[in-house]
């Protein structure tokens, strides 16, 4: 059934395109194309070696059928000369068959990033059908409500959000009911986070417990949802404006994009015990809201998410298969202050496990902070910025200073650094040996 989805979508896209065709235009008037070429090269401080050498081509095409209908296609050709971030050709077990990248050798892959049809139905309903990104939330540095699209963790959280998100085959409809904007989302694409192998530079080893001494580990195949209808994700968002506040109310019923790692110790006759790991994706649902308001030169921002039935790896010896379940509360409060060319943004992230369980390598109450400072100079041609993310509980984090300069209207140069610190057993501190400096460019035609 899954392999038929692209064909079904193509047929439906064609049908909608014919319905939307109102007035013929020349191909030149309707068609638009552009290309972005990016290069990003990083040098690691610890090993004093090139960490990555990326060359990325991003072609984009759009064809406007009418004033309110268009096709959009975004592709990507990605080459990582060192073959370091994703060593060899990944198995892509967490990706659906119709969303997988096509690899040319170990270093190069082709990807259909987005392919969707946008139109208006009955003049009131805005419909987007196809492979796309759907973004909820507006936090900097860390994600909270931005959970609809899974993420490629090739570079942990260092990639731009737009690049790290994995677009999904989805249906999104938007319309208004009185003072409320309504967004409905249906996602039949069973694609989840792309995580890295144990030997990859940005493998998040802090999430996994080491087996007891003398016990070997055996990873079994991941149990992945596959039913087109019953395993779909669905979401609803309501938006409104009240007393100066922009508000949204969110509901999302979905599979967590990171599998639960159930574990069992098996006693093998005449051999050492074996810790059998059985990864499985589990259902959960989320209630959330966002709020922001402009007050003078400042913008107040907030995001709240309450996740029901979040699964945690546990250190409790009585935990069933090494896992405990609890609801989880997350929030982000921020303020953005703008004065002239200066921007100052401060955020406070709270993460609370609602039940007193023994979650591995984290506290019941976790707090992260972020600070973003930026300034544009030289008629906005030069931008200086830095973001600092810090975990108060474990005193680890990272700092990302960056300089970007527009050489001309189509070419941007940048120089940046990613500096991790803290204990190597913690989420950010584990990457302190991957701290680096990067140099690259973006060129658009």
pLDDT for the residue numbered 110: 97
pLDDT for the residue numbered 269: 61
Any idea what DSSP says for residue 291?
E
Using DSSP bridges, classify how beta strands 168-177 and 125-132 pair: parallel, antiparallel or unpaired: antiparallel
**What are the pLDDT digits (tens) for 151-201?**
999 999 999 999 999 999 999 999 999 999 999 999 999 999 999 888 899
Question: Closest Cα to residue 259, out of 190, 186, 349?
Answer: 190
pLDDT for the residue numbered 2: 46
Show the CA angle centred on residue 342, arms to residues 336 and 347, nearest 5°.
Answer: 25
Whole-angstrom Cα distance, residue 378 to residue 384?
A: 11
CB 257 within 8 A of CB 153: no
Question: Closest Cα to residue 167, out of 127, 197, 194, 201?
Answer: 194
pLDDT for the residue numbered 1: 47
* Residue 187 CB coordination number (10 Å): 23
pLDDT for the residue numbered 196: 86
CB 281 within 8 A of CB 222: yes
Low-confidence spans in the chain with pLDDT less than 50: 1-3, 20
> 406: which residues sit within 8 A by CB, 6+ positions away?
380, 381, 382, 412
pLDDT for the residue numbered 265: 84
Burial class (CB in 10 A: 0-12, 13-18, 19+), 318: exposed
CB 144 within 8 A of CB 305: yes
Predicted structure pTM score: 0.91
- Distances in Å between the Cα of 192 and the Cα atoms of 8, 189, 309 are 22, 9, 18
Any idea what DSSP says for residue 220?
P
pLDDT for the residue numbered 268: 72
């Amino acid at each position: 059934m899954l392999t038929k989805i692209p064909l079904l979508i193509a047929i439906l896209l064609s049908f909608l395109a014919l319905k939307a065709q109102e007035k013929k235009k020349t191909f030149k008037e309707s068609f638009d194309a552009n290309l972005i070429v990016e290069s990003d090269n990083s040098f690691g401080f610890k090993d004093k070696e090139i960490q990555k050498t990326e060359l990325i081509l991003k072609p984009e095409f759009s064809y406007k059928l009418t004033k309110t209908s268009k096709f959009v296609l975004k592709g990507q050709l990605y080459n990582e000369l060192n073959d370091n971030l994703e060593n060899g050709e990944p198995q892509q077990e967490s990706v659906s068959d119709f969303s997988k990248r096509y690899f040319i050798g170990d270093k190069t892959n082709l990807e259909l990033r987005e392919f969707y049809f946008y139109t208006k139905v009955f003049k009131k309903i805005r419909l987007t059908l196809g492979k796309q990104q759907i973004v909820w939330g507006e936090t900097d540095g860390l994600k909270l409500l931005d959970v609809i699209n899974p993420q490629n963790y090739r570079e942990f959280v260092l990639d731009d959000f737009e690049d790290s998100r994995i677009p999904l085959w989805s249906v999104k409809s938007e319309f208004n009911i009185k003072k409320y904007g309504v967004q409905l989302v249906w996602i039949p694409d069973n694609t989840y986070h792309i995580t890295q192998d144990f030997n990859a530079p940005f493998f998040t080893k802090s999430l996994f417990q080491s087996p007891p001494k003398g016990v070997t580990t055996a990873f079994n195949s991941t149990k992945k949802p596959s039913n087109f209808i019953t395993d779909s994700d669905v979401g609803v968002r309501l938006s409104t404006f009240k007393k100066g506040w922009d508000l949204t109310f969110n509901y999302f019923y979905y599979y967590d994009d990171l599998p639960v790692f159930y574990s069992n110790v098996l006693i093998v006759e005449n051999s050492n015990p074996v810790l059998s790991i059985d990864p499985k994706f589990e259902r959960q649902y989320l209630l959330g809201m966002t709020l922001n308001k402009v007050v003078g030169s400042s913008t107040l921002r907030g995001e709240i998410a309450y996740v029901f039935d979040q699964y945690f790896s546990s250190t409790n010896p009585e935990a069933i298969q090494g896992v405990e379940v609890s609801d989880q509360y997350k929030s982000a409060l921020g303020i953005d202050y703008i004065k002239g060319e200066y921007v100052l943004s401060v955020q406070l992230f709270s993460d609370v496990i609602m039940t007193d369980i023994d979650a591995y390598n984290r506290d019941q109450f976790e707090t992260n902070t972020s600070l973003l400072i930026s300034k544009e100079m030289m008629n906005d041609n030069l931008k200086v910025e830095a973001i600092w993310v810090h975990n108060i509980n474990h005193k680890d984090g990272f700092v990302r200073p960056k300089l970007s300069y527009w050489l001309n209207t189509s070419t941007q140069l940048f120089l940046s650094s990613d500096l991790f610190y803290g204990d190597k057993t913690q989420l950010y501190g584990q990457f302190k040996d991957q701290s680096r400096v990067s140099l690259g460019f973006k060129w658009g035609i």
